[in-house]
């Protein structure tokens, strides 16, 4: 009998997340009483600022509890435009901005609005795990461009030039990057823009969600290549900068014809983002920005502490990361070795699984991000947790023969 709930071909191709597998194993170990430290997830450990929460209360009391404009309230889009002017040096028009249910939905809207079957999207690995899957769900074909620590996990202009084909519809960049922490400089972006100027069939999507967690000067692609604005979609949001992951507000900034196609998708899928969350996001963007730098400094201290501890193991090879709150060390020195408890490590998935079972530390294998041979650690955790995790990882590495 055919199953009415059999998966569609599109959804069948979507991978079960490696992150989920590690989380499930971590949960199972916790249930049997093990003390597990998770450095797996990607959200800031700071609370949402109190003035933002207060703005949400006030909006609800004022009756802002009904549908908003599908593209987002004028107040929030003004605040986004002001923020862009203040921080990136350009001011998008209100009609170029579309507010969605997190940055994730911006990606979905853009791909759903533009991809036909077989259209290709260039994705730089290591990539955020959802990128290829969102492309696949939207009927497109992810084409992965691998990078290594030697180029700071950044794509080179030659690599991009060689990868562009007639079917290429988008290049997707992420700066600062999850999981590598790499940040494209003005020079990097300018060199990529030179390649993209002669490839007018390629849309440029740049995910700048970690903009405020950068330890080197952050440059928005649109500010570096304003002449390409007509082919560029900038993705951003409040989740990481303002510690607002649960409020689900992100936005896209792109040319009006793209914004209106994305709006068509959004109007039929969600009708727009939560009204109360939009008021909160506007308050975050219009309020005191001092905390952004303070939080970035705090993350930087934690990065330095953890990177030094990982490099001291002699097994993990941890290049410095210029932004976001992740480290992405290589773990190949562990391959072929055996732990004190007799477990052999052959790849990054083994490293994570055995580390979790023997020492109770949950990391994510690099293969989840299209880059095997590495592991990802998030340092958006308390210093005490990071310290304990580093001690256990060091013990694990020292136990290998």
Binding site for ligand PMP (CB under 6 A): 42, 102-104, 128, 174, 178, 207, 209, 237, 239, 245, 250
DSSP assignment, residue 180?
Answer: T
DSSP assignment, residue 48?
Answer: P
Instruction: Closer to ligand PMP by CB, 88 or 180: give it.
Output: 180
Q: What is the torsion angle, in degrees rounded to the nearest 10, for the CA atoms of residue 218, residue 221, residue 222 and residue 228?
A: 160
Closest separation in Å from C-beta 179 to ligand PMP:
8
Q: How far apart are CA 177 and CA 211, in angstroms?
A: 10
Instruction: Closer to ligand PMP by CB, 192 or 235: give it.
Output: 235
Instruction: Closer to ligand PMP by CB, 174 or 275: give it.
Output: 174
Strand 37-38 to 361-362 pairing = parallel
Name which of 62, 127, 84, 39 is nearest 310 in CA terms: 39
- Residue 41 CB neighbours (<10 A): 14
Determine the residue with CB nearest ligand PMP: 102
Closest separation in Å from C-beta 338 to ligand PMP:
34
Closest separation in Å from C-beta 371 to ligand PMP:
15
Q: What are the φ and ψ backbone dihedral angles of 327, each rounded to 5 degrees?
A: -120, 150
Closest separation in Å from C-beta 278 to ligand PMP:
13
Closest separation in Å from C-beta 127 to ligand PMP:
8
Q: Which residues of 261-294 are buried (b: 16+ CB within 10 A; e: fewer)?
A: bbbebbeeebebbbbbbbbbbbbbbbeeeebbee
Closest separation in Å from C-beta 267 to ligand PMP:
19
Instruction: Closer to ligand PMP by CB, 92 or 323: give it.
Output: 323
Instruction: Closer to ligand PMP by CB, 120 or 207: give it.
Output: 207
CA 86 to chain centre: 23
Instruction: Closer to ligand PMP by CB, 375 or 397: give it.
Output: 375
Please report, for residues 50, 52, 108, 137, 164, the alpha-carbon distance to residue 273 in angstroms, rounded to integers and kept in the order given: 21, 17, 14, 21, 34
Closest separation in Å from C-beta 5 to ligand PMP:
27
Instruction: Closer to ligand PMP by CB, 222 or 394: give it.
Output: 222
């Amino acid at each position: 009998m055919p199953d009415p709930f059999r998966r569609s071909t599109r959804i069948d191709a979507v991978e079960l997340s490696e992150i989920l597998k590690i989380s499930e194993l971590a949960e199972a170990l916790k249930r049997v009483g093990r003390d597990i430290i998770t450095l797996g997830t990607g959200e800031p450990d700071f609370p949402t600022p109190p003035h933002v929460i207060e703005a949400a209360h006030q909006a609800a009391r004022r009756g802002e509890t009904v549908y908003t404009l599908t593209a987002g309230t004028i107040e929030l889009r003004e605040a986004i435009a002001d923020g862009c002017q203040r921080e990136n040096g350009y001011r998008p028009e209100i009609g170029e901005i579309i507010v969605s249910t997190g940055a994730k939905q911006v990606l979905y809207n853009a791909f759903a609005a533009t991809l036909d079957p077989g259209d290709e999207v260039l994705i730089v690995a290591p990539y955020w795990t959802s990128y290829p899957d969102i492309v696949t769900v939207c009927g497109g074909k992810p084409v992965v461009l691998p990078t290594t620590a030697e180029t700071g996990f950044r794509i080179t202009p030659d690599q991009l030039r060689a990868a562009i084909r007639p079917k290429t519809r988008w290049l997707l960049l992420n700066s600062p990057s999850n999981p590598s922490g790499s940040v494209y400089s003005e020079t990097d972006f300018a060199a990529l823009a030179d390649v993209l100027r002669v490839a007018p069939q390629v849309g440029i999507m740049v995910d700048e969600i970690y903009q405020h967690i950068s330890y080197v000067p952050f440059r928005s692609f649109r500010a570096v290549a304003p002449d390409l604005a007509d082919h560029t979609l900038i993705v951003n949001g409040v989740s990481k900068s303002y510690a607002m992951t649960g409020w689900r507000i992100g936005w896209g900034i792109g040319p009006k014809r793209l914004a209106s196609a994305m709006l068509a998708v959004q109007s039929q899928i969600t009708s727009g983002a939560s009204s109360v969350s939009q008021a909160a996001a506007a308050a975050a963007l219009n309020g005191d920005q001092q905390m952004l730098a303070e939080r970035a400094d705090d993350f930087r201290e934690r990065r330095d502490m953890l990177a030094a501890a990982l490099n001291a193991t002699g097994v993990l090879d941890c290049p410095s990361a210029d932004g976001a709150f992740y480290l992405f060390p290589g773990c190949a020195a562990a391959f072929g070795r055996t732990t004190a408890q007799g477990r052999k490590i052959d790849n990054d998935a083994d490293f994570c699984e055995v580390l979790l079972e023997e020492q109770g530390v949950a990391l994510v294998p690099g293969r989840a991000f299209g880059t095997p041979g590495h592991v990802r650690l998030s340092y958006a955790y308390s210093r005490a947790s990071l310290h304990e995790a580093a001690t256990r990882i060091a013990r694990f590495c020292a136990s290998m023969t």
